[in-house]
A and B are shown apart, each in its own frame.
Chain A
């Protein structure tokens, strides 16, 4: 039963990783911008949610505020950080350093606003109860499952079936051609940042309720998102989803055979294995050299 319990925990953790990593993958896939500050969108959404719940707002309203904060942050980064850098033919390194700086600013802002302590939202939804002898499940598991299912389904449809979605996918390939078709690369880039940042919200909300948040959460989230994106295939949305799930399950299942401290390391062992043996990830396209 321990194995089943660890698998359930792994799926729940993996779903949250998947949603967050998918946001990063969507932005990177469409704009080719290494949005290292994606973790900061998660942190802002999480803290916004906690702030609203503590202020007595209902959960849906609090989640709405979290979404506004995350999307606003994504749009801000696109318009005021990345675009000016790109105007001056900014290198990957410049973009990375700028994003890293923003993460530190956001972390410091959270520390000033909320203090440096751990924060969490207490809810009966996260309290697990025995469904079978030795197998515990919280309602948060079903919420994570439903949120991931609905969001990935909707996003998949949007990207595959709508003109804007197809244009978004084409943005990374040939922005000049998009312009020739009368589409604005700038608007599409903003849309990618808005959607990608919004995808961090379910993970942030559930994270605030299950694991809790600390001001430095952004770096951890970004590390996981990046690892999931590499495992799944850089730039691939379904790859990031699969990568997140694989990492979450690996982190939990490894505990059945190794000491608990190896949990997080297991995710990165998976990452190294992919880098060595399948560098294009689960769903990434092979690059011709």
Chain B
């Protein structure tokens, strides 16, 4: 009998010990953040930029010891395509068990969002601007203004400048078609007209024929909506093939390959207001540490993905303080409870869809540097 009691006690003790060990191990497990960016191919430039912003935020989170657990980043290459997005998201959700995924690109987002939504994984977009991305899922949030807002901003400006006939070159994908619809709505409202619609595909590299067609449409201004390396090719080939009209685009053009292109001089584009003169401590710290490493100003993409990671840190910190678990549902509940967060650019407010409201500027490239026009 005594032996049996001793055995029972020993067994219970071992079980309790095992439970405690398991809990300790679970507590020690890091928070897994995923990135689903294009890391190879013609859009890989964005992947590098997006990741740089996120990494700086991770450094700051670790330095601040904001969270009880370590935060690790698992990267998947979306290749900038819906197929790559679906495959990458499945891996992040099912293999890496990411609970918060940084995402970019409209087509990628639309393919990945159902997978993330099923698993209740939060997805934060700081790079894709397709108008359809608003309200894509309760777990899909935007920290970047969408193209519909950019088009609403630029359309009256173009008309006011006397550029009423707009030739629109757009990518034939969810992003480009969303932007086309916005332009077809907003431009006539502002008093302008579409002089010609020219659809292109992501793999296209030859634009001399396109230039001939654009010239034939006799527009006052040429608006193009592409992304990645292709934008620089469009600008160069339009200019080389005798298109002298003003070129206009959206925020996607703010990448080094466009900025360094001589033919891009004078390019007009819309972009979320860069907050580099803001005096709040979050912006100052981001800017100082960024410039210490890179010796130049960051882009708004760096800012957005920094904010996306910082937002995770703030939400998870709040949940930890309340003793709540950190998962998709609790993160969403915490976002909607708090709403206002100290981010780079000042205090940011999220709406019911989980979108951050950001003002938009009209800028131009001068010597490769963005200069505010309006």
What is the 8 Å Cβ interface bit string for chain B, positions 189-210, against chain A (1 contact, 0 not)? 0000000001111011111111
- Closest A residue to B172 using CB positions: A261
Main secondary structure of the interface of B (DSSP, over half): helix
A9 to B208, CA, bound (A): 6
Collect the chain A residues with CB atoms within 8 Å of residue B230's CB: 118
User: With A and B bound together, what is the CA distance between A235 and B237 in angstroms?
Assistant: 33
Please report the C-alpha to C-alpha distance between residue A74 and residue B210 in the assembled complex, in whole angstroms: 35
Would you give the 0/1 interface string for A178-199, flagging 1 where the beta carbon is closer than 8 Å to chain B?
A: 0000000000000000000000
- The 8 Å CB contact of B262, one of A12, A119, A122, A259, is A122
- List A contacts of B233 (CB < 8 A): 118, 120, 211-212
Measured CA separation A263–B210 after assembly (Å):
9
Whether B242 and A136, one on each chain, are in contact in the complex, defined by CB atoms closer than 8 angstroms, is yes
Show 20 residue pairs from A and B whose CB-CB distance is below 8 angstroms, ordered by the A residue.
A5-B215, A6-B212, A9-B208, A12-B208, A107-B40, A115-B48, A117-B257, A119-B257, A128-B240, A134-B215, A136-B215, A138-B240, A211-B207, A211-B237, A214-B229, A216-B42, A252-B206, A255-B209, A261-B200, A264-B206
Question: Closest CB of chain A to B348's CB: distance in Å?
Answer: 30
Instruction: Using known A-B contacts A136-B241, A212-B236, determine if residue A263 contacts B209 with beta carbons closer than 8 Å.
Output: yes
Report B3 CB to chain A, min CB distance, Å. Answer: 66
> Would you give the 0/1 interface string for A138-158, flagging 1 where the beta carbon is closer than 8 Å to chain B?
100000000000000000000
Q: How far is the CA of A9 from the CA of B242 in the complex (A)?
A: 13
Interface residue? B275 (CB, 8 A) = no
Instruction: Count how many pairs of residues, one from A and one from B, have CB atoms less than 8 Å apart in the complex.
Output: 115
In the complex, chain B residues 209-250 whose Cβ is within 8 Å of any chain A Cβ: 209-210, 212-213, 215-216, 229-230, 232-233, 236-237, 239-242
Q: Say how far A197's CB is from chain B's closest CB, in angstroms.
A: 21
B41, B47, B201, B256: the one contacting A216 at CB < 8 Å is: B41
A220 within 8 A of B: yes
Q: How far is the CA of A148 from the CA of B241 in the complex (A)?
A: 21
A10 contacts across to B, CB distance below 8 A: 209
Closest to A126 in B: B240
Q: Are A260 and B229 in contact (CB under 8 A)?
A: no
Interface size on A, residues (CB 8 A): 40
Q: Does A210 contact B (CB under 8 A)?
A: yes
Is there contact, CB below 8 Å, between A210 and B240?
A: yes
Within 8 Å of chain B (Cβ to Cβ): is A13? yes
Q: How far is the CA of A129 from the CA of B237 in the complex (A)?
A: 13
Residues of B within 8 A of A (CB): 40-42, 44-45, 47-48, 172, 198-201, 203-210, 212-213, 215-216, 229-230, 232-233, 236-237, 239-242, 255-257, 260-263
| A206-224 to B contact mask, C-beta < 8 Å, 1/0 | 0000111011110010000
Given contacts A129-B242, A211-B206, 17 further A-B contacts (CB under 8 A): A9-B209, A9-B241, A115-B48, A117-B256, A117-B260, A118-B42, A118-B232, A120-B233, A127-B239, A130-B242, A211-B205, A211-B236, A252-B208, A252-B209, A259-B199, A261-B172, A261-B199
B35 nearest CB across to chain A (Å):
15
Pick the residue among B201, B229, B241, B261 that contacts A261 (CB under 8 A): B201
The residue that B44 contacts in the complex, of A111, A134, A212, with Cβ under 8 A, is A111
Chain B nearest CB from A154 CB (Å) reads 27
Enumerate chain A residues within 8 angstroms of B215, measured Cβ to Cβ.
Answer: 5, 134, 136
For residue A13, give the distance in angstroms from its CB to the closest CB of chain B. 6
Question: Within the complex, what minimum Cβ distance (angstroms) separates B298 from chain A?
Answer: 17
Q: Is the CB of A264 within 8 A of B209?
A: no
Judge if A78 is at the interface, Cβ distance under 8 Å: no
Residue of A nearest to B237 (CB): A211
Within the complex, what minimum Cβ distance (angstroms) separates A106 from chain B? 13
Chain A contacts to B: CB under 8 angstroms:
2, 5-6, 9-10, 12-13, 107, 111, 115-120, 122, 126-130, 134, 136, 138, 210-212, 214-217, 220, 251-252, 255, 259-261, 263-264
| The residue from B206, B216, B242 contacting A128, defined by CB atoms under 8 A apart | B242
Which of B172, B233, B240 has the most chain A CB atoms closer than 10 A to its own CB? B240
Bound CA–CA A76/B55 (angstroms): 39
- List, in ascending order, chain A residues with CB within 8 A of B205's CB: 211, 217, 220
**Which of A116, A126, A220 is packed against the most chain B CB atoms within 10 Å?**
A116
User: Cβ of A215: which chain B residues have Cβ within 8 Å of it?
Assistant: 44
Contact B208 A13 (CB under 8 A): yes
The answer to whether B210 and A260 touch across the interface, beta carbons within 8 angstroms, is: yes
Which of A12, A122, A252, A264 sits near B263, CB closer than 8 Å?
Answer: A122
Q: Are A210 and B237 in contact (CB under 8 A)?
A: yes
Once the chains are docked, how many angstroms separate the CA of A119 from the CA of B256? 10
Instruction: Take A122-B262, A136-B242, A214-B229 as given contacts and tell me if A116 and B209 are in contact as well, using a CB distance cutoff of 8 Å.
Output: no
Residues A116 and B48 in contact, CB atoms below 8 Å apart: yes
Q: Please determine whether A255 and B240 come into contact, CB atoms closer than 8 angstroms.
A: no
Q: List residues of chain A with CB within 8 A of the CB of B240.
A: 126-128, 138, 210
Contacts of B260 in A (CB 8 A): 117
Chain B residues in 8 Å Cβ range of A126: 240
Closest B residue to A263 using CB positions: B209
The smallest beta-carbon distance between B245 and chain A, in angstroms, is 14
Contact assessment for B209 and A6 in the assembled complex, using a CB-CB cutoff below 8 Å = yes
CA gap between A5 and B208 in the complex, in Å: 9
* Most A-side CB within 10 Å, residue of B41, B48, B229, B263: B229
**Cα A12 to Cα B45 with chains together (Å):** 29
Residues on A with beta carbons closer than 8 Å to the beta carbon of B256: 115, 117
Q: How far is the CB of B49 from chain A (nearest CB, A)?
A: 10
Counting chain B CB atoms within 10 Å of each CB, the highest count among A6, A115, A210, A212 belongs to A212
Q: Is the CB of A117 within 8 A of B255?
A: yes
Are B213 and A260 in contact, CB atoms less than 8 angstroms apart?
A: yes
Q: How far is the CA of A120 from the CA of B210 in the complex (A)?
A: 19
Name the contact of B212 in the complex, choosing from A111, A120, A127, A255 (C-beta under 8 A): A255
Given A117-B255, A118-B232, A259-B198, verify A2-B242 contact (CB < 8 Å): no
List the B side residues contacting A120 at CB < 8 Å.
232-233, 236, 261
Contacts of B40 in A (CB 8 A): 107, 111, 116, 216
Nearest B-chain residue to A16, judged by Cβ:
B206
Give, as a whole number of angstroms, the nearest-CB distance from B75 to chain A: 15
